[in-house]
């Protein structure tokens, strides 16, 4: 582990255009679990076999909005979560001019809370919500404090600015993420198994010098990386001098 931390430090110190691409494992150390772990108890309550993926799909949102928002509010929003060592280190790297962008699959806004500014949220954010009728913006409290389905003052339904299953990723966000990765000399991928597409496919745009993978478990891309660390990403970043 020590040798790998030393090598990672050398790679970061030698980088001038670093991009970080992260997944759920970045936020689990802030107390935000992978939503897939929430399956069993909720199925017992609604007396239907529904996977978490189905529950946060566009179809489920349209057909069963009350159940959707109950699940969404209890399992996907963590307003008290705080940035961990990884979030904070990335923000410091951006401040120093080393890190050019964060590309994230997470929807919790913790990168921005830590101080990162150039963040591309592939799957949106729970912190942004809008009325489907008049497009008025609402913060996360409008959803959390609603007794059931949140409604706008105009009567329209308030929808989270989160990419649900069956919905397409925002094309502008994707283009910006691709552009950042393509221009990077180092790409650090952390806290993701690289199985969720199309986000996982972004790795193919990297043509830089160093590809680093940090994840607790193996990924299919481990063989392509210059450095692979199978440890908790917060622990890894806490040992770096940044």
- Catalytic positions: 123
C-alpha distances (whole Å) from 180 to each of 2, 185, 195 are 30, 10, 21
Q: How many helices (H) and strands (E) does the chain have?
A: 11, 9
How distant is the alpha carbon of residue 30 from its chain centre? 13
Q: How many CA atoms lie within 13 A of 227 on its CB side?
A: 25
| Contact present, 192 and 24 (Cβ < 8 Å) | yes
Question: 146, 141, 147: which is closest to 127 by C-alpha?
Answer: 141
Residue 160 C-beta-side C-alpha neighbours within 13 Å: 30
From the CB of residue 134, how many other CB atoms can be counted at a distance below 10 Å? 11
- H or E segment and range at residue 55: helix 52-55
DSSP string over 144-158: HT-SSS-B-TTSPBE
Cβ atoms within 10 A of the Cβ of 24, count?
20
The pair phi, psi for residue 116, each rounded to 5°, is -70, 145
């Amino acid at each position: 582990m020590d040798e790998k931390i030393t090598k990672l430090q050398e790679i970061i110190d030698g980088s001038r255009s670093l991009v970080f691409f992260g997944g759920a494992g970045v936020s689990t150390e802030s107390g935000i679990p992978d939503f897939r772990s929430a399956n069993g108890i909720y199925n017992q309550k609604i007396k239907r076999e529904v996977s978490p993926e189905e529950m946060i799909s566009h179809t489920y949102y349209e057909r069963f909005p009350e159940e959707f928002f109950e699940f969404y509010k209890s399992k996907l929003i963590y307003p008290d979560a705080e940035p961990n060592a990884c979030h904070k280190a990335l923000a410091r790297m951006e401040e120093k001019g080393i890190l050019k962008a964060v590309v994230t699959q997470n929807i919790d806004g913790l990168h921005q809370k830590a101080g990162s500014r150039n963040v591309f949220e592939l799957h949106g954010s729970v912190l942004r919500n809008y009325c489907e009728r008049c497009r008025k913006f609402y913060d996360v409290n409008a959803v959390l404090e609603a007794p059931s389905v949140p409604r706008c003052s105009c009567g329209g339904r308030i929808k989270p600015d989160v990419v649900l299953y069956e919905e397409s990723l925002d094309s502008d966000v994707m283009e910006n993420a691709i552009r950042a990765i393509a221009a990077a000399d180092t790409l650090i991928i952390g806290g993701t198994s690289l199985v969720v597409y199309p986000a996982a496919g972004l790795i193919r745009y990297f043509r830089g010098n160093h590809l680093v993978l940090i994840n607790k478990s193996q990924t299919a891309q481990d063989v392509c990386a210059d450095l692979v660390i199978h440890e908790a990403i917060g622990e890894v970043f806490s040992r770096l001098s940044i």
